[in-house]
Amino acid sequence: MEVIERPSLKFWEEVASQSEYATFYHTPLWSKILVETYPHYEISTKAFFFDDGTKVLLPLLRSRKEGFFKKRQRLKSLAFGFYGGPIYIGSWSEEKSEEVLQLF
């Protein structure tokens, strides 16, 4: 599996438009709205390429908040409980989920 830390906007839009599981909340536009509305968020979306040709995109937001003693960072698969999680072109399996989740 190949990991892309900052996938291109073109790739993100390609996967979001072709994945049968994608919703508006998986789009780059929704992430942009969130970071413009809530400046403590930054886009931290990742992409994954599997050997069988499956292309995966995991829309993520990183929340940066400062606590009393240290800075705290959290990754969210989108905010406010909207639809999140990976979207993909190709096939998905429990094994692929495990492989992706091991990176976090």
What pLDDT, in 10s, does the model give residues 53-95? 999 999 999 887 666 666 667 788 776 767 788 999 999 999 9
Q: Element (H or E) spanning 84, and its range?
A: none
Structural domains counted in the chain: 1
Q: Which range marks the domain in which residue 42 is found?
A: 2-101
Backbone phi, psi, residue 56, to 5°? -125, 140
How confident is the model at residue 5, as a pLDDT? 93
How confident is the model at residue 69, as a pLDDT? 63
Mean pLDDT of 97-101: 91
Mean pLDDT of 42-55: 95
pTM for this prediction: 0.84
In this structure, what token pair is assigned to residue 21? 């599981």
Local structure of 48: helix, strand or coil: strand
Specify the amino acid at residue 15: V
How confident is the model at residue 84, as a pLDDT? 80
Distances (CA, A) of 90 to 28, 59, 75: 20, 17, 25
- Say which residue, 45 or 67, is predicted with more confidence: 45
Q: Element (H or E) spanning 38, and its range?
A: none
**CA-based torsion, 103, 98, 25, 65: positive or negative:** negative
How confident is the model at residue 85, as a pLDDT? 86
Express each pLDDT in 2-24 by its tens digit.
999 999 999 999 999 999 999 99
Q: Tokens 């968020």 — which residue?
A: 41
Q: Maximum distance among all alpha carbons in the chain? A: 46
